[in-house]
Structure 1
């Protein structure tokens, strides 16, 4: 789930500070770096940027302004880059504080498209068309039109997008040794999935004589349930086309059917009763690793995480990917990720937009391989034609992702070699391809509408809470339609009207 959420997996970076103090602390170090006019010949141009730490720390003796990968960018762009990492736990709040300051940075990075749309409409961000045309050849070549469309407003580009490398996240994995022990075949249809889930919960698939196994894992906020919504032709929190118009997936009858299916599993004790408390990094993963779970919707990289840990603990464990559950109407699939995962913006007052574009153009172009993979013959090397990673060096330089993620681009060949170097047995690349063949796309890819900024956050929280209550039986399923009418009155009708005003225009007039 959560296809529109930018999940940075963030951790604390620094203590929060007050607004007035923050502006002084942040921008006084950069105030001397803002003006490049009249600089002596050969002196580096100076820019200040605000980015996310992604929850990654630096090796001893290094920081965001002193490390080999920043040096590499500066050397190849002739820039002197001042980097600031706001506290992770209040990152967006700090961006908002900065936007009220009289001394703004030259670039801010955000993963929030609503934040972007709000400041574009307020006229506080600089259009970047001219600078991209002059200094952004790699950006223009490597970023596709659909990504540029997402950052275009009234015909002008207001952000440089960073791309999602993967098009989808979830796929089903099962313990084949459990299937074999119970005489079951890998499930394909929703009915077959139900039989396997019931058997795993009730028939002692691990053979230990205890009633200690779970049929299906679901996380808090209905995470890892996407394939079961897909079996009914829907996904949560998406815009789908019905009869030539866009409708919000959460209010469709198909979504009600999916909720009813999950309620059935819960009522029969095939989903554990405390699933709303399953957080990815503790209860959820622990249950996979410990061997009490044999079927779940994995991420494409879980084969290198909890599945690998479970196999190391239990050599008998044999995990295989499954076909997505096919519903009674023949539907199947999972949500697709937003092609854009981050946005780089330049405040309207900055005189250094050209330098920002030069930096991002290098990150996406000539510098992409070294920033993405690490330095060759240090972090990785070619051996017999294959890329081999030194994991100790790789882990020490993970911080390079703070810079590469500013202008990530898609390079399928490099991505396959990179993923294979992490261990071909994990099937990371194959997992991605399996997901890509089963995506249910979101049909709305414009800037968030004004009503979205006003209503959507509250509506999403209300819908999520209601669906969970229906699954656990606190709220009757019969009340689904009544809730839909309430959500429409509480802002969804206004959002739907704006979305369709956008959708029904000719594609060339949507931006």
Structure 2
């Protein structure tokens, strides 16, 4: 595997050192900051801030708190934050744009929404602004041209600002290793083996309580893993062309139907819309295989409820269509755009340059040295008092959409965040290392060809067709999975193709094929991720 040398790391390390120096010198509680350094003379901009609902009342709100004061004391501009509920961000932003009150700086994870803003001509091209007002970001783009390419739209101009994170684990597939041992089973490597293991977990009383109250896997969350196993991702690359594939969708539905008919999944999985029941069953020790965002807190919760439970990482089984991995984080992400109605776009870009610099964003992430954190044994920030950190700092994640973990060096990695003197965190680190080895590799790549951030912006009429028809097609597949012999996947395939065509889906396919053929040199392919894996 080709690994780039890390030219950003030296600059980022200097930036991190600057952040530590800044924190060390700023012992004063930022709650008391404000009114200094000529704040009143600074240009004012509006910036959205994600509200996760975790700001303690005594701290204020996402629009006014100690860190807003700190930003306005130290940033080159004065910022008025507009709070946006994290899980309602797109409808809220749509409403703000409709009323003419959208913030100058928009930060959003939904790539389709950002593309729609470009199609509607709601955002500014940024090439000139970057060169004039953002020396830090201009330097990053020079070192990582893939990030620049990802920020461009079909007119060849940069509209989206992003960050370098390095390819990393996102989703983990967890399996009860103690149940495998008890039932004398091997780690499944094929769909048939996965089915057999799931059946054993459902039928052979792996928890030893004498009751048939466990099951193998939860289709409410594992549905997506199966799609990836069979490369059911709608459009695939076929002889250099982007092609809407249907046979992979049928193969995935066939396997889901086998699992459902075998009784290895929750029969009511379609009502578990957000996967909460699957999570609860995993935590209660009633589920054998579970997939979820890779995070320490979930593993801690599991061990608290199942102190003797053993967990292993399950590589995704291979199928006739290839051997792939579950979702990993792209080494690059583009999440910010500037409103075309911003009164002072130069000031917005200067703020972007300031917040992108780790000398500033790391202070927002960790708080002040000696107040909120100290250097751990690995040299990375560790909370002095977790309760104090949670109360006074944790909510700043809403300002840090553009913070680059990679810019922190080792301290931005999972390993750098863990206290390995704690047995649970030490075990989690081993799970993480295994997941990274198994998932972040070109030998088992992403099943989809194009980085999500690089997908084109469909025209509004085609976007409506795609959105509505895709949901209707998924309903057809779901019906075939739960209907036994009354409704086969063969019939579902015919019905799904007919519905797609009658809905105008062929127009979407044709547009996508033509767009790809004309713009593929400017599109970021997922295979490029493995040529640009950056390691601190």
Provide the TM-score with structure 2 as the length reference.
Answer: 0.78
Q: What's the counterpart of residue 404 of structure 1?
A: 400
What is the distance in 2 between the residues matched to 1:95 and 1:506? 29
Is 1:151 aligned with 2:156? no
Contact 1:239–1:246 at 8 Å: present in 2 too?
yes
What is the distance in 1 between the residues matched to 2:404 and 2:41? 28
Pairing 1:382-393 to 2, within 5 Å after superposition: 382-387=375-380, 388-390=382-384, 391-393=386-388
Q: What's the counterpart of residue 43 of structure 2?
A: 45
The offset of 1:262, in angstroms, is: 1.1
Contact 1:218–1:225 at 8 Å: present in 2 too?
yes
The offset of 1:510, in angstroms, is: 6.5
Q: What's the counterpart of residue 319 of structure 1?
A: 311
What is the distance in 2 between the residues matched to 1:55 and 1:456? 33
Of 504, 511, 524, which aligns to 1:491? Answer: 504
Task: Provide closer, same or farther for how the CA distance between residues 209 and 362 of structure 1 changes in structure 2, counting only shifts above 3 A.
Answer: same
Task: Provide closer, same or farther for how the CA distance between residues 487 and 146 of structure 1 changes in structure 2, counting only shifts above 3 A.
Answer: farther
Note the alpha carbon deviations across 1:380-424, whole angstroms, 9 max, x for none: 321333433343233221211111114546445232254325934
What is the distance in 1 between the residues matched to 2:239 and 2:428? 42
Task: Provide closer, same or farther for how the CA distance between residues 281 and 163 of structure 1 changes in structure 2, counting only shifts above 3 A.
Answer: farther
Q: CA RMSD in A?
A: 2.9
What is the distance in 2 between the residues matched to 1:508 and 1:231? 28
Provide the TM-score with structure 1 as the length reference.
Answer: 0.81
**Helix, strand or coil for the counterpart of 1:81?**
strand
Contact 1:164–1:340 at 8 Å: present in 2 too?
yes
Is 1:478 aligned with 2:475? no
Task: Provide closer, same or farther for how the CA distance between residues 435 and 44 of structure 1 changes in structure 2, counting only shifts above 3 A.
Answer: same
Is 1:394 aligned with 2:389? yes
Q: What's the counterpart of residue 21 of structure 2?
A: none
Note the alpha carbon deviations across 1:414-462, whole angstroms, 9 max, x for none: 3225432593432274234533223315334233221542222212211
Contact 1:113–1:447 at 8 Å: present in 2 too?
no
Between structures 1 and 2, the one with greater helix share: 2
What is the distance in 2 between the residues matched to 1:274 and 1:203? 21
Q: What's the counterpart of residue 331 of structure 1?
A: 323
Pairing 1:342-357 to 2, within 5 Å after superposition: 343-357=335-349
The offset of 1:281, in angstroms, is: 6.2
In structure 1, runs of 5+ residues without a counterpart are 1-39
What is the distance in 2 between the residues matched to 1:152 and 1:134? 18
What is the distance in 2 between the residues matched to 1:330 and 1:97? 43
Q: What's the counterpart of residue 65 of structure 1?
A: 63
In structure 2, runs of 5+ residues without a counterpart are 1-37, 525-536
**Helix, strand or coil for the counterpart of 2:400?**
helix
Q: What's the counterpart of residue 77 of structure 1?
A: 75
Contact 2:242–2:516 at 8 Å: present in 1 too?
yes
Task: Provide closer, same or farther for how the CA distance between residues 367 and 442 of structure 1 changes in structure 2, counting only shifts above 3 A.
Answer: farther
Contact 1:170–1:224 at 8 Å: present in 2 too?
no
Q: What's the counterpart of residue 189 of structure 1?
A: 190
Q: What's the counterpart of residue 439 of structure 1?
A: 445
The offset of 1:210, in angstroms, is: 0.6
Q: What's the counterpart of residue 426 of structure 1?
A: 428
More displaced stretch, 491-500 vs 162-171: 162-171
**Helix, strand or coil for the counterpart of 1:224?**
helix
Task: Provide closer, same or farther for how the CA distance between residues 508 and 402 of structure 1 changes in structure 2, counting only shifts above 3 A.
Answer: same
Aligned residues: 463
Q: What's the counterpart of residue 369 of structure 2?
A: 376
Task: Provide closer, same or farther for how the CA distance between residues 243 and 481 of structure 1 changes in structure 2, counting only shifts above 3 A.
Answer: farther
Q: What's the counterpart of residue 459 of structure 1?
A: 469
What is the distance in 2 between the residues matched to 1:136 and 1:123? 23
Task: Provide closer, same or farther for how the CA distance between residues 207 and 78 of structure 1 changes in structure 2, counting only shifts above 3 A.
Answer: same
**Helix, strand or coil for the counterpart of 1:133?**
helix
What is the distance in 2 between the residues matched to 1:400 and 1:109? 14
Is 1:119 aligned with 2:123? no
The offset of 1:489, in angstroms, is: 3.6
Is 1:178 aligned with 2:175? no
Of 448, 454, 458, which aligns to 1:449? Answer: 458
Contact 2:162–2:335 at 8 Å: present in 1 too?
yes
What is the distance in 2 between the residues matched to 1:373 and 1:452? 44
Contact 2:105–2:338 at 8 Å: present in 1 too?
yes
Contact 1:45–1:355 at 8 Å: present in 2 too?
yes
Of 293, 302, 318, which aligns to 1:299? Answer: 293
Contact 1:132–1:357 at 8 Å: present in 2 too?
yes
The offset of 1:164, in angstroms, is: 6.6
What is the distance in 2 between the residues matched to 1:402 and 1:499? 34
What is the distance in 1 between the residues matched to 2:522 and 2:274? 42
Task: Provide closer, same or farther for how the CA distance between residues 138 and 470 of structure 1 changes in structure 2, counting only shifts above 3 A.
Answer: farther
**Helix, strand or coil for the counterpart of 2:315?**
coil
The offset of 1:318, in angstroms, is: 0.9
The offset of 1:492, in angstroms, is: 2.5
Q: What's the counterpart of residue 367 of structure 1?
A: 360
Note the alpha carbon deviations across 1:275-309, whole angstroms, 9 max, x for none: 112254631211011111122223322x531x432
Of 224, 238, 245, which aligns to 2:241? Answer: 245
Of 309, 315, 320, which aligns to 2:301? Answer: 309
**Helix, strand or coil for the counterpart of 2:507?**
helix
Task: Provide closer, same or farther for how the CA distance between residues 191 and 148 of structure 1 changes in structure 2, counting only shifts above 3 A.
Answer: same
What is the distance in 1 between the residues matched to 2:93 and 2:57? 26
